[in-house]
């Protein structure tokens, strides 16, 4: 049997029955070792001299490092980083792990239905419509420093406290995220938040529901000008 990559792959999948049909098992394992990292003895063949180099790995038995959680993801390594900032903050607060973002938009339409319109007028009369607020749902999770241990080491208390400060802010919060910037959303108002049960001592999920907030100038400024009330008889126009 000619040794090819396909034969080596079949041998690795079907086990020792196929190996009996191959004259030299050592060549098979040497060929497989070129495609599988690290090369290990995975076929149950005994008393076969095989010259395969097995790399040695140093395993750290430090318990503190063993249960250490993954580090936070920097802004440059996130696809759509999400940042908060209130009016009192100078710097942005970046969510350490990129959340999932869901945005919904709608129109507010005032409709009038014509009674007994019949087939000559189908549907409603759209008298007026305007754009409603964008409904924004931010879903993510925080992770503690360690996967196992005391609550002070595993639970992401610091990140929860930072998020709490923004949730209790009675004002619009500045946001910085590319999908929101495309829709010209620079500020949001937090409507509700939930912290569902999350499996794991070091994980806490969250879900924030917010509305977009656009600036409006509601102060009416009276225009100053000259009021012409007409020309009186035998005189100049009053001003």
- pLDDT digits 0-9 by tens, 138-156: 999 998 877 777 777 788 8
So what's the architecture of 75-212 in CATH? Beta Barrel (2.40)
Confidence (pLDDT) at 52: 57
- pLDDT digits 0-9 by tens, 28-83: 556 555 555 555 554 555 555 556 555 555 555 555 555 566 667 777 888 899 99
* 197: its two tokens: 């049960």
Its sign, for the CA torsion 149, 153, 157, 162, is negative
Instruction: Report domain extents, the chain.
Output: 1-57, 75-212
**Percent helix, percent strand, percent coil in the chain, to nearest 5:** 20, 25, 55
- pLDDT digits 0-9 by tens, 169-211: 888 999 999 999 999 999 999 999 999 988 878 889 999 999 9
Cα separation, 96 vs 83, whole angstroms: 9
Percent of the chain exceeding pLDDT 70 equals: 63
Residue 113 and residue 169 in contact, taking contact as beta carbons nearer than 8 Å: no
């Amino acid at each position: 049997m000619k040794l090819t990559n396909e034969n080596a792959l079949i041998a690795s999948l079907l086990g020792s029955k196929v190996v009996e049909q191959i004259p030299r098992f050592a060549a098979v394992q040497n060929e497989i070792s070129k495609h599988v990292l690290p090369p290990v003895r995975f076929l149950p063949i005994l008393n076969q001299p095989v010259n395969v180099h097995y790399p040695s790995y140093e395993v750290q038995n430090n318990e503190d490092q063993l249960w250490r959680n993954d580090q936070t993801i920097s802004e440059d390594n996130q696809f759509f980083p999400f940042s908060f900032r209130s009016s009192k903050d100078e710097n942005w607060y970046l969510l350490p792990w990129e959340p999932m973002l869901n945005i919904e938009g709608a129109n507010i339409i005032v409709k009038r239905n014509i009674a007994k319109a019949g087939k000559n007028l189908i549907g409603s009369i759209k008298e007026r419509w305007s754009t409603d607020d964008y409904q924004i749902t931010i879903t993510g999770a925080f992770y503690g420093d360690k996967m196992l241990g005391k609550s002070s080491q595993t639970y992401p208390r610091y990140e929860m406290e930072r998020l709490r400060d923004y949730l209790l802010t009675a004002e619009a919060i500045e946001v910085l995220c590319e999908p929101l910037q495309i829709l010209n959303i620079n500020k949001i108002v937090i409507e509700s938040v939930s912290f569902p049960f999350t499996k794991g001592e070091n994980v806490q999920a969250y879900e924030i529901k917010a509305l977009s907030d656009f600036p409006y100038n509601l102060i009416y400024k009276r225009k100053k000008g000259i009021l012409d009330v007409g020309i009186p008889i035998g005189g100049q126009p009053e001003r």
